[in-house]
């Protein structure tokens, strides 16, 4: 927008005998301070963050204090805005996965899943996704839920000074990331769930690693409960802190563990099952205290449930060896397969040999699908999934082209963070750290 | 199907077709009766009490939609003038989005639409819902923008609707949809009945005002601020409509279609790769 000197927000000009003078001391500031009167003497406004170890990422908090009591709390966000939604409009539908996996970096599979499910609904191939791809999606999402909750518990512990909880949490999370690396090739930013299925079949030996992980986690998860559940210091910091009841959650759009900690067992895996969740045996975890402690316990219990689902998914995968992981429609399915070569992972040499040496038509097909991509029928879809933080949804709009017309992500971190003021005001400044940790916002998802 | 002109006249003819078709449809629930016109009061006994998985899956095979053009697609490779020797440069095809659907919408869609129509008629707002689009198993109510608050409060408060949860608010910019360039899309969820609907309002780019829904759904606060930040849609009555993701002094609204993506050309071994929005690409 055109801005000339006369419209400068921060330096209004005035003409004097010495020429034009820009007054940068600030507009109506004096009238504001005059209005405040004497109360300004007792009023302290503290800026906390965005670079602060206890604000759970690059979150800026503007706190008005009275002594150590927070009277008003406001959030400043946007420090990690990367324009992912805009960027996705300039790439093909498959490339979009590579972008959205980077939003909420602690739960990448959920970002991918909601976008891919929306795309598949627009393509009308929801019923054609192979069973093995569905099971692998569930397996990865539940492993991801464990790793994400581990970080929530770990950083939440770190922010109140419980550093042992942090080292424990990151120790176990590393095991999950090792599994991700085995299955997808990457620890984070996988871009593994693709429209039509998943990028790769399960590599040899992955099931053994998963089984070993399940056995280990059955021993390790109870350690968190032993360490924290009855710990008087831990309880003292968390119990009754960041209270938000069911009505508050619904009004502010808060989902996930904060909603379930009010005693309402709302879980999209049960209420609107996707990827075959209705066929797995698991329970929705709730708590009835509506405080930070309840959210912690919900997360702890959900990890146990996720482990149950991972176990069931691993059993199914054992019976699905060699089954397809990509939709049969060759006009949508990614043409090439990846393979581990002498120089790392890349296109399968068999595939290169086929398209370069044997079949001109395969080469054309590969070229068209990789450079142009497939067209998605015009329309819009919204298929939310239950991410570790709540309802993660992608509003996917197509105009019938080879690129998304518009993708909007309803990120649970973004929406849940609106609860900060309600949870924090009236409490101690040290409790605001606990309240925000109990929402577990991931700023990559908040700012997108 | 022939796409209509992307203007008010096109929508009017859609509505005409819709009401013409509505009379000859068959009841979705035999024996329970179904109103033939939108103005008739639905039978109270028709309300479902139990909500199973089957309720969620709505078959829309019987629904006929009338598609609506929102723009034109030129060529095939995003290249104008010289440079395109493919022969596809002369292609011109309308961009068509699914338009208004006719009755029956299928499953609980009819019930929800009936209740909404009845309640709006009681408030004298028969014209509030411009059209209903049923597509890919999801239902969208296109609502006149001046009535969005009234419609949303009915959707939230009526005990047969109970859409008590606003999932998402997002802006969409259709630059070629003349007079309706800015769309605001609300995703509503009824946790009581486990149903999802979508409400869509439009505003012309020259007058991008839409009433706020923050008093009804406080969760819309940040989401409307994001739509203002990214699209420049002004939500009248919003408590503090300021930028939220972009810096406060940022010029322009980045997710509008006419706002460039940005980026710089990258040189590598003598060749130059242009930024993504200037590359030759399929469209």
* CATH number for the domain that contains residue B101: 3.30.460.80
ipTM exceeding 0.90, yes/no: no
Task: Name the residue facing B254 among A83, A271, A403 (closest C-beta).
Answer: A83
Task: Name the residue facing B249 among A9, A83, A406 (closest C-beta).
Answer: A9
Interface of B with A in 4-23 (CB under 8 A): none
Residue A64: C-alpha distances to residues A31, A261, A334, A387, A428 (Å) = 20, 28, 54, 33, 11
Cα–Cα distance between B173 and B182 in angstroms, integer?
A: 5
Whether B197 shows a pLDDT value over 90: the answer reads yes
Cα–Cα distance between A174 and A152 in angstroms, integer?
A: 14
| CATH architecture for residues A84-332+374-447 | Orthogonal Bundle (1.10)
Residue of B218, B228, B250, B273 to mutate for A, most A C-beta atoms under 10 A = B218
Q: Is B114 helix (H, G, I), strand (E, B) or coil?
A: helix
- Helix runs in A191-252, H state only: 206-224, 232-238, 246-252
Q: What are the backbone angles phi and psi of residue A95, rounded to the nearest 5°?
A: -60, -25
Q: Which residue has the higher pLDDT, B175 or A34?
A: B175
Residue A123: C-alpha distances to residues A132, A367, A400 (Å) = 20, 21, 10
- Minimal CA–CA distance to A313: which of A158, A84, A142, A151? A142
Q: Is residue A371 within 8 angstroms of chain B, CB to CB?
A: yes
Residue in this structure with the two tokens 């069973």, named with its chain if needed: A131
Token pair for residue A379?
């329309």
Evaluate whether residue B237 is within a structural domain.
no
Instruction: Tell me how close the Cα of A86 comes to any Cα of chain B, in angstroms.
Output: 6
Task: Name the residue facing B136 among A77, A122, A415 (closest C-beta).
Answer: A122
Q: Are A102 and A355 in contact (CB under 8 A)?
A: no
Whether B13 shows a pLDDT value over 90: the answer reads no
Task: Name the residue facing B95 among A382, A391, A399 (closest C-beta).
Answer: A399
- The mean per-residue pLDDT over the stretch B214-226 comes to 92
Q: Answer yes or no: do B135 and A379 touch at CB < 8 A.
A: yes
Segment (H or E) for A348: none
Q: Is residue A235 within 8 angstroms of chain B, CB to CB?
A: no
pLDDT of residue A201: 86
Q: Is residue A263 within 8 angstroms of chain B, CB to CB?
A: no
Structurally, chain B folds into a number of domains equal to 1
Q: Answer yes or no: do B282 and A373 touch at CB < 8 A.
A: yes
Task: Name the residue facing B167 among A266, A380, A391 (closest C-beta).
Answer: A391
Q: Are A418 and B222 in contact (CB under 8 A)?
A: yes
Q: Are A398 and A378 in contact (CB under 8 A)?
A: yes
- The mean per-residue pLDDT over the stretch B41-48 comes to 36
Q: Is residue A270 within 8 angstroms of chain B, CB to CB?
A: no
Q: Is residue A374 within 8 angstroms of chain B, CB to CB?
A: no
Is cis: bond before B104, omega within 30 of 0? yes
Segment (H or E) for B221: helix B220-231
Is cis: bond before A50, omega within 30 of 0? yes
Q: Answer yes or no: do A253 and B95 touch at CB < 8 A.
A: no
- The mean per-residue pLDDT over the stretch B232-239 comes to 92
Cα–Cα distance between B209 and B201 in angstroms, integer?
A: 10
Evaluate whether residue B167 is within a structural domain.
yes
Total CB pairs under 8 A between chain A and B: 135
pLDDT of residue B83: 63
Whether B100 shows a pLDDT value over 90: the answer reads no
Domain ranges of chain A: 1-36, 84-332+374-447
Token pair for residue A236?
């003292």
Instruction: Tell me how close the Cα of B277 comes to any Cα of chain A, in angstroms.
Output: 6
Q: Which contacts (CB < 8 Å, 24+ apart) does range A66-69 have?
A: A66/A42, A68/A428, A68/A429, A68/A430, A69/A426, A69/A427, A69/A428, A69/A429
Q: Answer yes or no: do B198 and A380 touch at CB < 8 A.
A: yes
**Nearest chain B residue to A406, by CA:** B172
Would you mind telling me the total number of residues written for chain A in this entry? 448
Cα-Cα-Cα-Cα torsion A175, A179, A182, A183, nearest 10 degrees, comes to: -160
Cα–Cα distance between A157 and A174 in angstroms, integer?
A: 17
pLDDT of residue A101: 93
Q: Which residue has the higher pLDDT, B278 or B162?
A: B162
Whether B155 shows a pLDDT value over 80: the answer reads yes
Domain that holds residue B166: 49-71+90-216
Evaluate whether residue B158 is within a structural domain.
yes
- Minimal CA–CA distance to A132: which of A275, A311, A332? A275
- B230 contacts in A (CB within 8 Å)? 85
Q: Is residue A117 within 8 angstroms of chain B, CB to CB?
A: no
Q: Is residue B157 within 8 angstroms of chain A, CB to CB?
A: no
> What is the per-residue burial (b if ≥16 Cβ within 10 Å, else e) of A12-48?
eeeeeeeeeeeeeeeeeeeeeeeeeeeeeeeeeeeeb
Q: Are A101 and A190 in contact (CB under 8 A)?
A: yes
Task: Name the residue facing A379 among B136, B166, B221 (closest C-beta).
Answer: B136
- Helix runs in A124-162, H state only: 131-159
- B254 contacts in A (CB within 8 Å)? 83, 86
- A448 contacts in B (CB within 8 Å)? 245
Mean of all residue pLDDT scores within chain B: 75
Looking from the CA of A111 toward its CB, the CA atoms found within 13 Å total 31
Evaluate whether residue B282 is within a structural domain.
no
Biggest CA-to-CA distance, chain B: 75
Whether B169 shows a pLDDT value over 50: the answer reads yes
Token pair for residue A172?
């176990």
- B242 contacts in A (CB within 8 Å)? none
Cα–Cα distance between A11 and A421 in angstroms, integer?
A: 32
How many CB atoms sit inside 10 A of residue A283's CB? 13
Instruction: Tell me how close the Cα of A355 comes to any Cα of chain B, in angstroms.
Output: 23
Cα–Cα distance between A188 and A1 in angstroms, integer?
A: 38
pLDDT of residue A336: 80
Residue A247: C-alpha distances to residues A207, A243, A255, A258, A398 (Å) = 43, 12, 12, 12, 35
pLDDT of residue A38: 67
Q: Answer yes or no: do A447 and B245 touch at CB < 8 A.
A: yes
Q: Answer yes or no: do A266 and B135 touch at CB < 8 A.
A: no
Question: SS3 for A85-127, per residue?
Answer: HHHHCCCCHHHHHHHHCCCCCCCHHHHHHHHHHHHHHHHCCHH
pLDDT of residue B211: 93
Q: Which residue has the higher pLDDT, B130 or B58?
A: B130
Instruction: Tell me how close the Cα of B9 comes to any Cα of chain A, in angstroms.
Output: 21
Residue in this structure with the two tokens 């929530």, named with its chain if needed: A152
Task: Name the residue facing B138 among A77, A382, A403 (closest C-beta).
Answer: A382
Q: Answer yes or no: do B135 and A86 touch at CB < 8 A.
A: no
Cα–Cα distance between B120 and B213 in angstroms, integer?
A: 17
Token pair for residue A116?
């891919």
Q: Answer yes or no: do B168 and A408 touch at CB < 8 A.
A: yes
Note the pTM of the prediction, 2 decimals: 0.83
Token pair for residue B216?
């009804």
Q: What are the backbone angles phi and psi of residue A270, rounded to the nearest 5°?
A: -95, -40
Going from the first residue of chain A to its last (448 residues), give the mean pLDDT of each consecutive group of 10, the final group possibly shorter. Answer: 52 76 64 69 80 79 87 90 91 92 92 94 91 93 93 88 88 92 88 90 89 92 84 88 90 92 91 91 91 92 93 91 87 81 76 89 89 88 93 92 91 92 89 90 90
- B245 contacts in A (CB within 8 Å)? 77-78, 81, 447-448
Would you mind telling me the total number of residues written for chain B in this entry? 283
Q: DSSP state, A203?
A: P
Interface of A with B in 136-165 (CB under 8 A): none
């Amino acid at each position: 927008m055109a801005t000339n000197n006369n419209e400068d927000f921060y330096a209004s000009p005035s003409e004097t005998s010495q020429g034009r003078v820009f007054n940068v001391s600030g507009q109506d500031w004096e009238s504001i301070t005059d209005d405040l009167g004497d109360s300004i003497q007792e009023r302290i406004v503290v800026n906390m963050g965005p670079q602060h170890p206890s604000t759970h990422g690059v979150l800026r908090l503007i706190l008005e204090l009275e002594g150590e009591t927070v009277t008003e709390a406001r959030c400043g966000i946007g420090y990690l805005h990367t324009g992912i939604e805009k960027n996705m409009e300039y790439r093909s539908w498959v490339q979009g996965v590579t972008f959205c996996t980077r939003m909420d970096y602690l739960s990448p599979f959920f970002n991918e899943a909601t976008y891919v499910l929306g795309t598949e609904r627009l393509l009308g191939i929801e019923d054609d996704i192979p069973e093995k791809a569905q099971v692998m999606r569930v397996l990865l999402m539940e492993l991801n839920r464990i790793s994400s909750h581990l970080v929530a518990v770990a950083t939440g512990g770190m922010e109140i000074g419980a550093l042992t909880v942090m080292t424990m949490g990151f120790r176990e999370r590393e095991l999950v990331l090792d599994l991700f690396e085995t299955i997808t090739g990457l620890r984070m930013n996988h871009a593994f769930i693709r429209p039509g299925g998943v990028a790769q079949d399960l590599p040899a030996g992955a099931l053994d690693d998963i089984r070993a992980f399940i056995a280990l986690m059955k021993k390790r998860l109870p350690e968190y409960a032993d360490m924290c559940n009855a710990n008087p210091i831990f309880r003292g910091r968390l119990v009754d802190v960041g209270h938000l009841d069911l009505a508050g959650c619904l009004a502010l759009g808060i989902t996930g563990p904060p909603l379930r900690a009010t005693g309402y067992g709302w879980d999209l895996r049960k209420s609107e099952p996707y990827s075959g969740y209705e066929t797995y045996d698991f329970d929705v975890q709730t708590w009835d205290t509506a405080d930070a402690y309840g959210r912690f316990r919900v997360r702890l219990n959900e990890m146990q449930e996720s482990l149950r689902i991972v176990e069931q998914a691993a059993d199914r995968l054992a019976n699905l060896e060699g089954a397809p992981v990509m939709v049969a429609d060759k006009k949508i399915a990614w043409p090439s397969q990846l393979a581990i070569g002498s120089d790392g992972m890349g296109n399968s040499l068999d595939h290169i040999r086929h398209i370069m040496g044997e079949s001109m038509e395969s080469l054309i097909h590969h070229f068209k699908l990789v450079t142009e991509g497939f067209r998605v029928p015009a329309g819009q879809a919204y298929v939310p999934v239950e991410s570790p933080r709540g309802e993660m949804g992608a509003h996917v709009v197509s105009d019938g082209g080879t690129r998304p017309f518009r993708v909007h992500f309803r990120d649970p971190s973004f929406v849940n963070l609106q609860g900060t003021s309600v949870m924090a005001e009236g409490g101690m400044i040290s409790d605001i750290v606990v309240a925000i940790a109990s929402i577990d916002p991931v700023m990559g998802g908040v700012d997108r | 199907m022939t796409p209509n002109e992307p203007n008010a006249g096109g929508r009017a003819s859609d509505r005409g077709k819709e009401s013409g078709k509505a009379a000859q449809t068959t009841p979705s629930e035999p024996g329970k009766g179904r109103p033939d016109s939108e103005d008739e009061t639905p039978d109270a006994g028709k309300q479902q009490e139990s909500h199973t998985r089957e309720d969620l899956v709505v078959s829309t095979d019987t629904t006929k939609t009338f598609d609506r053009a929102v723009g034109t697609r030129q060529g095939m490779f995003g290249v104008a003038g010289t440079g395109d020797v493919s022969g596809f440069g002369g292609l011109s095809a309308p961009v068509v989005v699914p338009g208004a659907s006719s009755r029956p919408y299928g499953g609980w869609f009819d019930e929800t639409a009936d209740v909404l129509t009845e309640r709006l008629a009681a408030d004298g707002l028969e014209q509030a819902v411009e059209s209903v689009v049923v597509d890919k198993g999801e239902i969208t109510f296109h609502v006149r923008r001046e009535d969005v608050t009234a419609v949303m409060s009915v959707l939230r408060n009526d005990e047969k609707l109970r859409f008590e949860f606003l999932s998402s608010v997002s802006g969409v910019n259709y630059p070629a949809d003349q007079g309706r360039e800015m769309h605001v899309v609300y995703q509503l969820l009824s946790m009581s009945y486990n149903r999802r609907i979508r409400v869509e309002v439009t505003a012309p780019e020259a007058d991008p005002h839409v009433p706020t829904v923050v008093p009804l759904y406080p969760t819309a606060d940040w989401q409307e601020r994001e739509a203002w930040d990214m699209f420049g849609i002004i939500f009248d009555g919003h408590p503090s409509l300021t930028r939220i993701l972009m810096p406060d002094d940022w010029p322009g609204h980045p997710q509008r279609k006419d706002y460039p993506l940005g980026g710089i050309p990258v040189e590598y071994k003598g060749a130059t790769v242009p930024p993504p929005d200037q590359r030759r690409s399929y469209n």
